[in-house]
Structure 1
């Protein structure tokens, strides 16, 4: 629920977008309210993501939809990520949605960013207000040779860009193979970024995307290169979903991981557990015309979408009974997820 276009990284499985444009709040929220009414009338729940740093209109639209339809089947969730990272997470959630109950999709809004390395190279932090900065960093912004690396996931931090220390200072490394997405409103300033960060991350593929419209607002400057590094391991999505410990909501029964249910706001008071029976996908993502899966990797036999290029933790936990999407396998039934821990392998390129 913001002017955050899709990265196209998951193909046709992307999330619906609502740019929230218009003269008044009614006009800005009309498209979302109509969508929410259609989904709830069909018996489905809605998980609405919006940037936590630009939340006013989205919160009002969600509250209006809940009140107008007298339903608690619409959950509004603010996500404190940069536009490029938020766009990717929203599409990943849309890819997961057919395989998971709505409460687990909502829980993944907090979990998926923990498996990404997202941030930006900045020429200055003098206008940066979304990530904590120090007075010394603000003063350093006036030096002509100083630049910064700011991270919004998995942690929020800002540090001075020192080429010799970039690799050692990375707060997180996704599981290999790694893909790198980047964008900038000014292609003429990418030299320092190109010479340092990709060498530290060592991606198997890099995609340059159009700049996000809200990027300058989030980063406080137009002199930036925004990036997201994510794992392209085939089982990364299953590990992220399997790492969530859910509790049944004491009121509506939805499996949630937060203390308060994002739908009905009741306490999740039941015993912690994972859902015991996988939910079948009502409709898998349609294959693109080029015969590849939504992530650019060859589509496995049978047309099932491959969750490659979705993020996974550095040491993925064993996936339990939960609701992970069915992974691509060599046999009809496939091995259990717990036997598929990532192993070093020949790097593959998953770019489209």
Structure 2
């Protein structure tokens, strides 16, 4: 396991990196600080968790001028006032080419998701296909965090005993986010390690810390995914808001072969059909552009 890149979070919009551009889709993170994952990976710009309206206008204007769709990736745990401002800009511009995807991932993982979404955008045929692939991508990501205290942690919820343990000297906890395997684990004096899900295929690792036990996190990741490249990320300014603890360290294990992610998504999706209302090619039950429920969904509902 070797460190291959030192990344810095992007906090400003600029003309050269308004969004990751692929196909006819631009990707922009809102509230998820992003970074570079190395050469050949297109950058994804990031706006603050409460984005100024004029920056949203600049982003959608750039996409519309190029006849493209803008996808904004934002945290579901802090989507206001961003969602309200996005709706305002969408109404001001009178466009349905401004889509959103909300993720419950913590800040570091959400930023990685946005960067990978930028890569996927170049491989899909429609924005709806990209939206369908993102939940599959999320399920392939695992978050591991080291916390000094869990008194402010909401997701996943710690036990009462762990809340009490947080007040004891030398307390430490490991948090795992991976579907049904998610949970909070109390670490002993010897800094034991939680059971982590087995990883198949090529993966990358991103790590960030805020004055916490980064050595424990690195050692754990090295034993877990010894052949993965590690990207060192500067801590996100909104990470403490999510984890509820200033001393923390977090790691994200993510898939490198996005072709497999896209194949899995396509196998789960129905063939794209024109929306019954706006005519856009969609695979989901509800059109992400106009919100219309598709005929196939209505027929299934009638049969049930």
**TM (normalized to structure 2)?**
0.75
Does the aligned pair in 1 maintain the 2:217–2:250 contact within 8 Å?
A: no
Kept after mapping to 2: 8 A contact 1:49/1:79: yes
Gaps of 5+ in 1: 272-352
Given the alignment of the two structures, is residue 67 of structure 1 paired with residue 67 of structure 2, yes or no? Answer: no
Alignment partner of 2:290 out of 264, 272, 281: 264
Residue 160 of structure 2 corresponds to residue 135 of structure 1 = yes
Q: Give the alignment of 1:40-189 within 5 angstroms.
A: 40-100=64-124, 101-155=126-180, 156-161=182-187, 166=194, 169-170=195-196, 172-186=197-211, 189=213
| Larger mean Cα displacement after TM superposition, 131-140 or 44-53 | 131-140
RMSD of aligned Cα (Å): 2.6
**Alpha-carbon deviation of 1:73?**
1.9
Report the CA distance shift for 1:108/1:14 in structure 2 as closer, same or farther (over 3 A): farther
Aligned residues of 1:106 and 1:256 also touching (Cα < 8 A): no
Q: Larger % of strand: which?
A: 2
Q: Show the 5 A alignment for 1:148-297.
A: 148-155=173-180, 156-161=182-187, 166=194, 169-170=195-196, 172-186=197-211, 189-233=213-257, 235-246=259-270, 248=273, 249-256=275-282, 258-270=284-296
Q: Counterpart of 2:71 in 1: which secondary structure?
A: strand
**Could you tell me whether the CA contact under 8 Å between 1:117 and 1:153 is conserved in 2?**
yes
Contact in 2 for aligned 1:150/1:159 (Cα 8 Å): yes
Residue 177 (structure 1) shift: 3.2
Instruction: Give the secondary-structure state (helix, strand or coil) at the position aligned to 2:96.
Output: coil
Instruction: Please give the per-residue CA displacement for 1:82-107, whole angstroms capped at 9, x wherever unaligned.
Output: 11111111011111213211111122
- Alpha-carbon distance between aligned partners in 2 of 1:157 and 1:243, rounded to the nearest angstrom: 30
- Is the 2:193–2:220 Cα contact (8 Å) retained in structure 1? no
Q: Deviations over 1:273-317 (max 9, x none)?
A: xxxxxxxxxxxxxxxxxxxxxxxxxxxxxxxxxxxxxxxxxxxxx
How many residue pairs align between the two structures?
262
> Distance in 2 between the 1:205 and 1:133 partners?
31
Q: How far apart are the structure 2 equivalents of 1:33 and 1:193?
A: 40
Compared with structure 1, are the counterparts of its residues 16 and 204 closer, same or farther at alpha carbon in structure 2 (3 Å cutoff)?
closer
